[in-house]
């Protein structure tokens, strides 16, 4: 395992590289409140096949922690991702695997025109494209079909607390971080022991990551854009995900030219609870995509 620093302007990103140096490059992108360590159980199952790149998003782990809320907007996080891609694989496109806010920022990246030729495929886990989600909610509301949006709104109701400046960060730092494995076990209805160790920076990562919610949710859901991609996308639907409901992906095929859907009987943190299933789905998808390019 080798570590390095990749810069995007003033932002320094902690990057870890491992696996098969001759294999396709697979970039793993974590969400809130994780670091690159989210993938500790997935990586060994992929290491023989792929050259694996993981990094700490801005605000997490060993990467730069910006102060301003606007510095956590998705366009900045997508720029970080492209900086990592340019640094680790300047001549060949990479494959992406993203979870939670990592999946959200990967959606932002693959819908950019510059994604063509730089991103070969994308496996999305428990993180929607916020523009797609906003347009879907508007469509369903216009048709007076509110059950689906209501289900997702209820699942996301906790994010309203994250909009309150100061208070959630104090609560998270005050002790909730110590109970995080137990909470994830309860939330996902799985053994807390399966969650694995958490990063020592977890209390700070929790607090800093709240700016992701403040910088993006209201802004994107209130003014969604039409965002399309020709990058092949595999949508891993965690059927027991209490935070991101499968119904919210109902319109995804309107925006993705090549979409595959892979249901998984798992909760939100499937990279921790179902690493083998996730690794297998990712490997098969990448092989299918590469076989289509070079039959």
pLDDT surpassing 80 at residue 103 = yes
Q: Is residue 118 part of a domain?
A: yes
Q: How confident is the model at residue 106 (pLDDT cuts 50, 70, 90)?
A: very high
pLDDT surpassing 80 at residue 194 = no
Q: Which long-range contacts (C-beta less than 8 Å, at least 24 apart) are formed by 223-226?
A: 223/134, 224/130, 224/131, 224/132, 224/133, 224/134, 224/135, 224/138, 225/131, 226/131, 226/135, 226/255
Burial bucket for residue 196 (CB in 10 Å: 0-12, 13-18, 19+): middle
Give the tens place of pLDDT for each residue, 80-92.
999 999 999 999 9
Q: Is residue 40 part of a domain?
A: yes
Q: Which residue has the higher pLDDT, 222 or 56?
A: 56
Q: Is residue 264 part of a domain?
A: yes
Return d(Cα 268, Cα 22) in angstroms, integer. 32
Q: Is residue 27 part of a domain?
A: yes
Q: What is the CATH number of the domain that holds 116?
A: 3.40.50.1820
Give the tens place of pLDDT for each residue, 216-239.
998 888 899 999 999 999 999 999
| Count of the separate structural domains present in the chain | 1
Judge whether 224 and 135 are in contact, CB under 8 Å: yes
pLDDT at 167: 58
Residue numbers of the domain that contains 137: 2-290
Work out the average pLDDT over 208-218. Answer: 93
Q: Is residue 295 part of a domain?
A: no
pLDDT surpassing 90 at residue 183 = no
pLDDT surpassing 80 at residue 74 = yes
Return d(Cα 119, Cα 97) in angstroms, integer. 11
Q: Is residue 114 part of a domain?
A: yes
């Amino acid at each position: 395992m080798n570590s390095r620093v990749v810069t995007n302007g003033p932002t320094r990103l902690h990057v870890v590289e491992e696996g098969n140096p001759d294999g396709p490059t697979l970039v793993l992108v974590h969400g809130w409140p994780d670091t690159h360590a989210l993938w500790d159980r997935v990586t060994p199952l992929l290491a023989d096949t792929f050259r694996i790149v993981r990094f700490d998003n801005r605000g997490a782990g060993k990467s730069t922690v910006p102060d301003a809320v606007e510095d956590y907007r998705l366009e900045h996080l997508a720029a970080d991702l492209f900086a990592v891609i340019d640094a680790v694989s300047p001549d060949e496109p990479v494959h992406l695997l993203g979870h939670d806010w990592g999946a959200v920022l990967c959606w932002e990246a693959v819908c950019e025109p510059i994604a063509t030729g730089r991103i070969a495929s994308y496996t999305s886990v428990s993180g929607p494209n916020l523009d797609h989600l906003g347009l879907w909610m508007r469509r369903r509301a216009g048709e007076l079909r509110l059950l689906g949006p209501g289900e997702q709104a209820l699942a996301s109701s906790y994010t309203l607390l994250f909009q309150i400046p100061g208070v959630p960060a104090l609560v998270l730092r005050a002790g909730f971080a110590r109970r995080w494995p137990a909470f994830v076990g309860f939330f996902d209805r799985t053994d807390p022991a399966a969650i694995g160790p958490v990063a020592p920076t977890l209390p700070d990562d929790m607090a800093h990551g709240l700016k992701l919610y403040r910088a993006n949710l209201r802004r994107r859901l209130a003014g969604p854009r039409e965002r399309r991609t020709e990058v092949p996308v595999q949508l891993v639907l965690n059927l027991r995900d209490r935070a991101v409901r499968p119904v919210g992906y109902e319109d995804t095929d309107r925006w993705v030219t090549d979409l595959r859907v892979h249901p998984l009987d798992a909760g939100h943190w499937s990279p921790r609870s179902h690493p083998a299933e996730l690794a297998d789905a990712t490997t098969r998808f990448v092989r299918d995509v590469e076989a289509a390019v070079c039959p």
